Amino acid sequence: MLLKIKRVPTVVSNYQKDETVEEGGCGRNCLSKCCIDGATLPLYTCKNLNKSIGEKSEAPGKFLESLVLGEWEDRFQRGLFRYDVTACETKVIPGKYGFIAQLNEGRHLKKRPTEFRVDKVLQPFDGNKFNFTKVGQEELLFQFEASNDDNDSGIQLFPSIPLEADDSPSVVAINVSPIEYGHVLLIPRVLDCLPQRIDHKSLLLALQMATEAANPYFRLGYNSLGAFATINHLHFQAYYLAMQFPIEKASSLKITSTNDGVKISKLLNYPVRGLLFEGGNSIKDLSDTVSDASVCLQNNNIPFNILISDSGRQIFLLPQCYAEKQALGEVCSELLDTQVNPAVWEMSGHMVLKRKDDYEEASEAKAWRLLAEVSLSEERFKEVNTMIFEAIGLSSHEVAEEEEEEQTSMNSGFIRVHCPSVKEEEACI
């Protein structure tokens, strides 16, 4: 039985039409073979990546931020967005966690819904469907590259670099249906036409962007197929919201650490069950661990979302099962009627609501209830964790022991502290 749900896909590009209709010819100034010859785009290269925390200057972060905001505002004033997102009312819902609600009636088209297959997290790229080679070049802001190896000049932004397939460029594009100001898409190796699935290189690029931006209010997110990604072409999303997400306020309980120093915790007191990854001896260690975990979920057909938070220091991995429940008719109509699709932003506590009533009556209890439906059950979550730890190379036996230790030390009179042998770094201010 093929599991499908009906959804109105979000339009992220002005060139996104009915997916099944393929128009011949172009003249749309896109990224496909028809238009790409001679196309150029500014190229941004990172500077901040290998420095330790004390050395990092604010300057590269501000530079990337100025580039993103400046280019975004330019497209905004040129009318490239489907609506003015700053005209959408938004508020923080009173309560312990401060869920953020937005009334956005224009985000979702009133066109007829398409069928989405939700039972397969891994699906091959289909060039006939909408993908990012079909966006207009004006929707692209700049190319993004992490390494600066060949470049001794210290220059970070090259104003005009040709887009060539051989270079495998990664690009940052606008999302024409933004959730917030500055909503962009990071599309790794756009011309390689990768399907929506996590691979080590791409997640690293996303993490590098978060680190380079050096702004805790600029987060990156990822939705797998089956976890409300609508386009099967590898992409991450990002935007600015200058306050904490509810998920960032949730407490966590350490489960274990990897050999590379990556600490893995589980979320507590939050409606969604998930894992939090942080630390690591390098950005790459952190990224690789999360990639290993994601690949495991993908291979086991478990949909999930990823939130990269705190300027790349924290990564939330959130498996979910809402789409499957929907397809099997297990979601109550009250929740379905809100038409909220719990993608990564919703899972993090930022809810975009289509109906005024839902917005006016939004409450922490309702948000909690919706997200609790989306979350895996406790047993299923434990199963999934076991799979993940095995994939990361931690024997589940070790992990269970550590968990037990934590538990018993909690219950007894002694509280044992994990004192890592920290190298004495000179504290730098």
Partner 1 sequence: MSLAEESSVVSVFTEEEEESLNRRYTLWIKEALDELPHNFTITDPFLSGHPIVFASLGFLKMTGYSRAEVIGRNGKFFQGPKTNRRSIMEIREAIREERSVQVSLLNYRKSGSPFWMLFHMIPVFGRDDGKVINFVAVQVPISGRDHHRKLTSVGDDVSSLDHSEFVFGSCRREVCFGNFVQHRALPVECDDDEQGLEDWEYCEASESEKLRAVEAINNVLSVLTRYSELSGRLVCGKRYCLRGVDCLSSSLVISLGRIKQSFVLTNPCIPDMPIIYASDAFLTLTGYKRHEVLGQNCRFLSGVDTDSSVLYEMKECILKGQSCTVQILNYSNRKDKSTFWNLLHISPVRNASGKTAYFVGVQVEASCRNTESKELRPETKQLSVVGAVRVAVRSSFMVTC
d(CA 116, CA 226): 9
Q: Identify the residue among 131, 265, 341, 375 touching partner 1 (CB under 8 A).
A: 265
Q: How many CA atoms lie within 13 A of 273 on its CB side?
A: 14
Q: Which of 1, 329, 397, 414 binds partner 1 (CB under 8 A)?
A: 414
Collect all residues with Cβ–Cβ distance below 8 Å to 345 and sequence separation of at least 6: 179, 221, 237, 351, 352
Work out how close the CB of 259 gets to partner 1 at its nearest, in angstroms, rounded to a whole number: 19
Identify residues 151-210 at the interface with partner 1 (CB under 8 A). 155-157, 159, 180-182
Would you say 109 or 155 has its CB closer to partner 1?
155
Task: Give the nearer residue to partner 1 in terms of CB position, either 156 or 320.
Answer: 156
- In the list 165, 268, 336, 365, the residue contacting partner 1 (rule: CB under 8 A) is 268
**∠ at Cα 342 (337, 345), nearest 5°?**
130
Q: Measured between alpha carbons, how far is 185 from 411 in angstroms, rounded to an integer? A: 47
For residue 233, the minimal CB distance to partner 1 (Å) is: 27
Q: Give me the amino acid identity at 352.
A: V
Q: Tokens 């600490």 appear where?
A: 263
Q: Which of residues 21-60 bind partner 1 (CB under 8 A)?
A: 52-54
Tell me if residue 296 falls in helix, strand or coil. Answer: helix
Q: Which of 269, 281, 377, 386 binds partner 1 (CB under 8 A)?
A: 269
Tell me 82's DSSP state: S
Contact present, 143 and 44 (Cβ < 8 Å): yes
Instruction: Please report how close the Cβ of residue 104 comes to partner 1 at its closest, in angstroms.
Output: 10
Q: List for the chain the helix, strand, coil content (%; round to 5).
A: 35, 20, 45
C-beta neighbour count of 284 within 10 angstroms: 16
Restricting to residues 237-256, name those near partner 1 by CB under 8 A: 240-244, 248-249, 251-254
Residues with catalytic function: 235
Residue (83 or 125) nearer to partner 1, CB:
83
- Residues 285-314 within binding reach of partner 1 (CB under 8 A): 310, 313-314
What is d(CA 350, CA 99) in angstroms, rounded to the nearest whole number? 6
- For partner 1, the closer of residues 145 and 248 by Cβ is 248
Q: Which of 122, 216, 285, 300 binds partner 1 (CB under 8 A)?
A: 216
Residues 113-152 that bind partner 1 (CB under 8 A): none
The answer to whether 167 and 74 have CB atoms below 8 angstroms apart is no
Q: Does 20 bind partner 1 (CB under 8 A)?
A: no
- The burial of 330, by beta-carbon neighbours within 10 Å (0-12 exposed, 13-18 middle, 19 or more buried), is given as exposed
Measured from the CB of residue 107, what is the shortest distance to partner 1 in angstroms? 14
CA 234-312-367 angle, to 5 degrees, is 75
Q: Least distance (Å) from partner 1 to the CB of residue 42?
A: 9
Tell me whether residue 393 or residue 420 sits nearer to partner 1 (CB atom): 420
> Which lies closer to partner 1 via its Cβ, residue 68 or residue 399?
68
Structure tokens at 326: 């929907």
Site for partner 1 in 59-98 (CB under 8 A): 62-63, 65-74, 77, 84, 86-92, 94-98
